[in-house]
Amino acid sequence: MESSCTMQTVLLHLLLLFGNIDATGDERKRYDGYRLYKVFVPDDESLELLTNMQDDDGYHLWLRPMINGTADLMISPTRIQEFMQKVNTTKLEPELMMDNVQKYIDDENPRGNVRGAFDWLGYHRLNTIYNWLDSLVTQHPEIVEGNPGIFIEGGIHAREWISPAVVTYILNELILSDDSRVRYMAESYDWYIFPVFNPDGYEYTHTTNRLWRKTRRPTGRGCYGADPNRNWNFHWAEGGVSRNPCSEIYPGDRPFSETETRTMSQYIDSIQTKIFSYIAFHSYSQLLLIPYGYSNKRVSNYDDLFQIGNYSINALSQRYGTRYKVGNIVDIIYVASGGSMDWVRGTYNIPVTYTYELRDKGRYGFILPASQIIPTAKETLDSLVAMFEQAAKRGYGSSMTAQFRL
C-alpha cells in the first residue's frame, strides 16, 4: 500500500543533520545506594528548600516541586542522613520510591544489547535507531507531498528513553498499520518525524550516565551542555531555569547556543508554512500540556486545544486505563521558559501544539521498564488518532488553519 507520508525525506534529513556522535572515554556513572523519594510540598518554605536543592551536589530533582503537589528527589548516599534531618525540621513528607536507583537501571533494559530485528521489546542505541530509519527510507521510497503537515519531536531530553521508543513505534505504525483510522491519519497528512532530537545526549545515557538530561557541548568550569528545551528564542531564560552551567536546567549562555536547537529551528523555519501541528514527547508525569511554559498566559485557541486534549486523553485511557491530565504548562506543572513548543507557537502561531509527558507518575520515572514501551506506545497512538480526528472537526489542517495563522 502506498503511503502519502513525507517522513522518508525528513528522516534522511535527520541523519544528515545529526549523524556525527562523539565517542566518550568517561567512566560509567553508577547510582549504587542512591534513593528516590516522592516528597509532598505543603508550603512556601518547603518549596524554597527543594528548589534550592536542584543545584546542590548530591540532590537531583527528577520532578520539580510545586505547592500542594509533589517533587521527585533523588539523593546520593552521602546526603541521605542530612536530608532526613531536614525532614525532621520541616513539613516535608517524603515517600521512598527507590531504595537503590542502580538496581532499577540494571533491570530496566534486559534486551538492550540483543542483536536482531528492530523491535519495541527494549531500548535501542542511537546507531541501531539510525540504521532502522535508513532501512525505512530504502524499503518505502514512495513520497507524495502536499497534505497539511504534522511535526513530531522526540528525545529532546536525553534520559527520557521512552520518548524515542514511542516516536519510532508511531512512525512504524504510520507506515505499516492496517487499522483504518491509523491509515486515514497517516495518509491525510505529511509527517515530519524526529525520534532523537538530542543524539549526543541520548548516546551518552547509554554509554556513560543513564540519567544525563542535556546536550554535550562543553560550557566551561568542567560542565557540559545546556537544557535543549530551555534554549529556544522565545521568552528565553525568563523562568524555570538556572544560570549555573552545571545545572540540569541551564538554558545556555544565549538562545540557540546549542547546535541541536539552532539547526532544528532553521529547519522548522523552512517548513513552517507546511505544518499546522507540533507535538513533542517527553517523560514523565502522564500529562498533555498546552502552551505556554513561560507564563500562564493562554493561547488564543486554548479552549479548542483543551477540548481536543480531553478527547485525546480519554481515548488514551481506553486501552489500559492510564489516566492523564490536560492543561497549560504553568498551571499543572511549573514555569519552564524557552521551550520548543512555546517557540513554535509563539513564533509561527502553529495552532495545534502539545507536549506529552508520557508514563509513568513516578514509580519508575525516567527508568521506565522496557516492558512498558509497547503499552505506552499503543495508548499514545490511540490518543493521536483521536486528537487529529477532533482537530479536523474544528477545521485544523484545512483552509481554516491558513486563516488562523494569518
Task: Give the DSSP letter of residue 77.
Answer: G
Q: Which of 27, 357, 379, 389 is catalytic?
A: 357
Question: Partners of 37 in the beta sheet?
Answer: 73, 96
Does residue 258 have an active-site annotation?
A: no
Q: Is the dihedral of CA 387, 213, 125, 217 positive or negative?
A: positive
End-to-end CA distance of the chain: 36
From CA 71, how far away is CA 64, in angstroms rounded? 5
**ω into 302 cis (within 30 of 0):** no
Plot region of 157 (φ>0 → left; ψ -120 to 50 → alpha; else → beta): beta
Give the three cell numbers for residue 6.
Answer: 513525507
Using DSSP's 3-state secondary structure scheme, residue 211 falls into coil
The total of other beta-carbon atoms located within 10 Å of residue 141's CB is 9
Strands 223-224 and 93-98: unpaired
Give the three cell numbers for residue 209.
Answer: 550516565
Nearest to 319 by CA among 141, 179, 124: 179
Give the three cell numbers for residue 158.
Answer: 536525553
Plot region of 323 (φ>0 → left; ψ -120 to 50 → alpha; else → beta): beta
Please answer whether residues 339 and 241 qualify as being in contact, where contact means their C-beta atoms are separated by less than 8 angstroms: no
| DSSP E strand stretches across 292-333 | 325-328
Sole residue written with cell 538556572 = 242
H helix count then E strand count, the chain: 14, 12
From CA 169, how far away is CA 69, in angstroms rounded? 32
Burial code (b: 16+ CB inside 10 Å, e: under 16) for 208-244 equals ebbbbbbbbbebeeeebbbbbbbbbebbbbeebbbee
For the annotated catalytic residues, the residue numbers are: 357
